[in-house]
Amino acid sequence: MTASPSHTLANLAARFDLQLRGDGTRVIAGVGTLQDATPEQLGFLANPHYRAQLTSTRAGAVVLRAADAETCRGDCLIAADPYVAFAKIAALFERTPVAMPGIHPSAVVAADATIAAGASIGPHCVIEAGARVDAGAVLGPHCIVGERCVVGAQSRLVARVTLVRDVLLGKRVLVHPGAVIGADGFGLAFDQDHWIKVPQLGGVRIGDDCEIGANTTIDRGALGDTVLEDDVRLDNQIQIAHNVHVGAHTAMAGCAAVAGSARIGRYCLIGGGAGIVGHISITDKVTITARSLVTHSIEQAGEYSSGTPIQDNRAWRRNAARFKHLDELARRVQQLEKEAKQ
């Protein structure tokens, strides 16, 4: 485990091109929230809802916007985007386990698998025929790299990650525990009175700098590959079905699900629990809010929502009872409008 470093405010300001207001010699040894940070830690203010905490925070310094600097009683670092600046600074204090290069004695490696000299293969890993693990890649305990899979340079499979087969991970991909990549997609054909399984013959291609959350599943393509372009970020427990294509820099929150052959553009944001039906396309820079169901293609960038917002149960019951009368009500309104025009 790497040791926790410390930095002066002047050093942080110079390193991340921030404006310093206050004592540049102040030493920062960690990060925290405005509410919980100690005098040795750096806090941040990105959400205006927490602005009142500036007057009571014990943080040694705060990252904030210029408009909030006058409210801050202590030292501060001024940033155009405090959240981005805080994320970069917080990375300096991340305690990352140091993986030693080499293959653990309990690992099972096929004779024709290729393991780069600088890779680290943890306890009880299985590397199957034709697989390749590139330099600097780290496989935590109980990972499986199936036939013809590739783990790119500097990628990390944290623990219990399964790459079934024909999965290509790019460089610096981070995969969290329990993720399964390359399992069969849900392909079925109904033959008179029973189901026939449609063979899933494709693979999965994941670009550089992607992150796959815990217990997320990405299915192999039926024909052709399921594709995640560079810098796609998936939260925990997400389902990506066969032959889905996700554009670069798109992020999805937990429990989202994308059905087969859907295409999602670049720089999209998909909220938690959202569903996207199969065989549709979503253009670039689209935001889908939480729990929305996307049933048709979206051709214009922007923010889209569906579903019923929460309300007290009594009001919801009344409105739910009226839902079945909406068509009747719409027809009556149309008739009244027609009569009014006459």
Dist CA 120 CA 99 (whole Å): 6
Strands in 150-151's sheet, in edge-to-edge order, are 114-115, 132-133, 150-151, 167-169, 204-206, 226-228, 245-246, 263-264, 281-282
Q: What is the pTM for the complete model shown?
A: 0.91
The rounded percent of the chain whose pLDDT value lies above 90 is 90
Write down the pLDDT at residue 208. Answer: 98
Write down the pLDDT at residue 4. Answer: 63
- 267-288 pLDDT per residue, tens: 999 999 999 999 999 999 999 9
User: Residue range 279-305: average pLDDT?
Assistant: 98
Q: Are 171 and 154 in contact (CB under 8 A)?
A: yes
Closest CA to 144 of 106, 108, 171: 108
- Find the largest Cα–Cα distance for the chain: 88
Long-range contacts of 36-45 (CB under 8 A, 24+ apart): 42/12, 42/77, 42/86, 42/89, 44/82, 44/83, 44/85, 44/86, 45/82
User: Residue range 25-54: average pLDDT?
Assistant: 94
Write down the pLDDT at residue 58. Answer: 95
Q: Are 222 and 240 in contact (CB under 8 A)?
A: no
Class of domain 7-91: alpha beta
Q: Domain 102-304, what fold?
A: UDP N-Acetylglucosamine Acyltransferase; domain 1 (2.160.10)
- 86-107 pLDDT per residue, tens: 999 999 998 877 889 999 999 9
Query: Can you give the residue ranges of every domain in the chain?
Result: 7-91, 102-304, 313-342
Q: Which has more pLDDT, 248 or 316?
A: 248
Active-site residues, by number, are 242
